[in-house]
Amino acid sequence: MTPMDAVLLARDAEGLFWMARYLERVENLARLIDVTQSFESPGYETDAWFGLIRINADEKNFAERGFVPDADHVKRFYLLDKGNPTSVPANLEDARTNARTLRPLMSTEMWRQINVFHRYVSHITPEDLEGDALARLCARLKDGVQAHTGITEGTLYRDQGWYFYELGRLVERADQTTRMLDIKYTALLPWDGEAARVAELTQWNAILRAAAGYHAFRRRARATFTAEDVVHFLLRDPSSPRSALLCVRRAESHLDDLRRIYGLSRAVEAMEVAEYLRELLQEKPISHILAMGLHDYLDIVQIHLQKLAAAIGRGFFRDWQPEDPVAGPVAAQAQA
């Protein structure tokens, strides 16, 4: 059988794409919650925790569900509230729902692991959100997603389905890196003198840890690193698995494989968007981007990441609709 003989249903391609995105969101949330608790500064706790709401553009949803912007309510919103479509329980429920429809395409090990992980998350209690218990919970969440990733890497058949799974993971990862960098960068504490330098280094270390890049960055960076060094690492490092550039390059390569190996001509639009994104991430010096305004630049990057997801959806999925930030991506999937 040649690669082009195997047919992948549009709904299965979409299910794999979204399953990967949901699981990536679970790990990202766990990382952000963990570093927020570890690096919150006295007197600025509310700002630090509400930063998580801003990263996910959840301000309206958070307020409508009756929460107030303090640490306890933000933790409950993301770790206990199953009615919040951006919470850990909701994302894992959505991932498992997709996995159920994909059962014929998945290995037994993948299916078993996601069920065990789902069962663990469904039993999170308010006591798990306090002190050291929260750090242990975040570690379990990260481990659960990484176990899924490892099992998938070792057992998922490398046909068209694998490419769509990878595309979902890469698009989500690049998007989350830019969101986290944007919000955390603009929230650096406005202190003066030596206190400002210490606070800035602490915040940058928190950003790097949230992006799982602290140790890799320290291997490459100067002892007295700058904001420019961190932004370059998160956006452009060619070897960091969470850098926006690496994610976009891999997405572009996967789309080219789908077009070249499987004859999927509808990959062309998405390839063009990915190519533009790659050029956007490389064309100007970081110093110039910081001088002109990092927030505006990252807005443009995020818009084109959304365009990339939309181009993939229009090219390969049925009844593609943009993701609704309030109703959540499940509503946008329109799967049969």
pLDDT over threshold 90, residue 327: no
Query: What is the pLDDT at residue 196?
Result: 60
Q: What is the pLDDT of residues 158-190, one digit of tens each?
A: 999 999 999 999 999 999 999 988 877 766 545
Count of domains for the chain: 1
Please give the distance of CA 224 from its chain centroid, rounded to a whole number.
Answer: 29
pLDDT over threshold 90, residue 2: no
Q: Does the global pTM surpass 0.85?
A: yes
Q: What is the residue range of 30's domain? A: 3-333
Is 307:273 a contact under the CB 8 Å cutoff?
yes
Q: What is the pLDDT of residues 121-153, one digit of tens each?
A: 999 999 999 989 999 999 999 999 999 999 999
pLDDT over threshold 70, residue 3: no
Which of the given ranges, 6-10, 25-29, 190-194, 291-295, has the highest pLDDT on average?
A: 25-29
Question: Given pLDDT bands bounded at 50, 70 and 90, which one contains residue 323?
Answer: low
| 328, β-bridge pairs | 324
The pair of three-digit structure tokens given for residue 295, joined into one six-digit string: 């927030």
Query: What is the pLDDT at residue 38?
Result: 79
Query: What is the pLDDT at residue 322?
Result: 63
